[in-house]
Amino acid sequence: MDIKQLKYLIALDRTRHFGQAAAACHITQPTLSMRIRNLEEELFVSLMERGLGFDGFSAEGEGFVAWARGLVAAHDGLEAEAAICRGQMVGQLRVGMVPLASLNPMQLIKPLADKYPELQFSLLSMTSEQIIDGVSRNQLDLGICYLHHVDSQLFNVVWLPNTRMGLLHDKRHFQFADAIPGWETLASLPLGFLTKGMYYRESIEMSFKAKGLAPKYVFESDSTFQIIQAVQAGICCAIMPLNNGLEALSDNLDIRPIAETEVDSTLALIMRNKEPVSSLAEKCFTDAQVIFSERRPSATG
């Protein structure tokens, strides 16, 4: 067994296609198939369902893929750790972030990229629960998430500003006389939302319900980008966070603050506080504390 075999297996899990997995690993499809079969022979376990193409992993294979992800992450972390010991800040910083928050992630990524030009960044859109789990398992280096119902003592934490909401709209399709639209106005508008299960959407729905109102859903997606596309097309408006740079994407986009709107949970940057913690994560977390020092809210979580 070697680390390349595990990476091939993870690529197959990600693409669900032998040819695409081989291309992602820069090898031929027969080579990928042979190396995975060699792995099965070494383990005396069938990792996948056999068919004309990729028909999925066996139950044993699903469990093995989970272990493979942890091993590959540890291997990459060891390589990055060795590089840092040599005075090189290289490797990949893996950051999980909730899809909508009052924070432009480039406020963190750009200073780090300027300071460490050889560093690579992986920014993943995930739920708070997925981020907390990923950081605790060392599958993510840092996370930006809501810490509702979570023991913050398990992590090193930088508290971030509370997420406040605004009405994102395209000025070519919607015009508003009031500087701050009321909730009755919001309830009358066609709105686009994230799909159910995301904490940000749940918070918006609770805000409407608390005022005895029901929003008018016309569009939903698990992609923030697609919601913005729907706004630009005039299909809907969207309740989006302030201060995350959305309005800067186009001269036609505008976002207006909504009164009495805050996500009912504290946003935080987190890092695992139990060994092992990579030096890469620790250095970037220390830098993040400086970057966000002027933005830290007075309230504690």
Mean pLDDT in consecutive groups of 10 residues from the start of the chain, 301 residues: 88 86 90 89 83 76 84 76 68 87 85 90 89 88 82 83 84 84 88 80 85 92 89 94 78 85 75 84 92 58 37
User: Can you give the pLDDT at residue 192?
Assistant: 93
What is the C-alpha separation between 299 and 301, in angstroms, rounded?
A: 7
The model's pLDDT over 45-71, given as tens digits with 9 standing for 90+, comes to 888 877 666 778 888 888 888 888 878
Count the helix, strand and coil residues of the chain and give each as a percent rounded to the nearest 5.
Answer: 45, 20, 35
User: Can you give the pLDDT at residue 290?
Assistant: 92
Question: Pairing mode, if any, of strands 155-159 and 216-221?
Answer: unpaired
User: Can you give the pLDDT at residue 76?
Assistant: 74
Residue 282 amino acid letter? E
What is the C-alpha separation between 227 and 133, in angstroms, rounded?
A: 27
User: Can you give the pLDDT at residue 150?
Assistant: 64
User: Can you give the pLDDT at residue 297?
Assistant: 45
User: Can you give the pLDDT at residue 264?
Assistant: 60
- DSSP class of residue 233 equals T
Q: pTM (2 decimals)?
A: 0.63
Comparing C-alpha atoms, which of 179, 180, 131 is closest to residue 157?
Answer: 131
List phi, psi (to 5°) of 200.
-60, -45
Long-range contacts of 5-8 (CB under 8 A, 24+ apart): 5/35, 5/36, 5/38, 5/39, 6/68, 6/71, 6/72, 7/72, 8/32, 8/35, 8/36
What is the C-alpha separation between 78 and 2, in angstroms, rounded?
A: 15
User: Can you give the pLDDT at residue 301?
Assistant: 37
Structure tokens at 129: 């629960």
Comparing C-alpha atoms, which of 301, 298, 237, 238 is closest to residue 269?
Answer: 301
What is the C-alpha separation between 185 and 183, in angstroms, rounded?
A: 5
User: Can you give the pLDDT at residue 17?
Assistant: 86
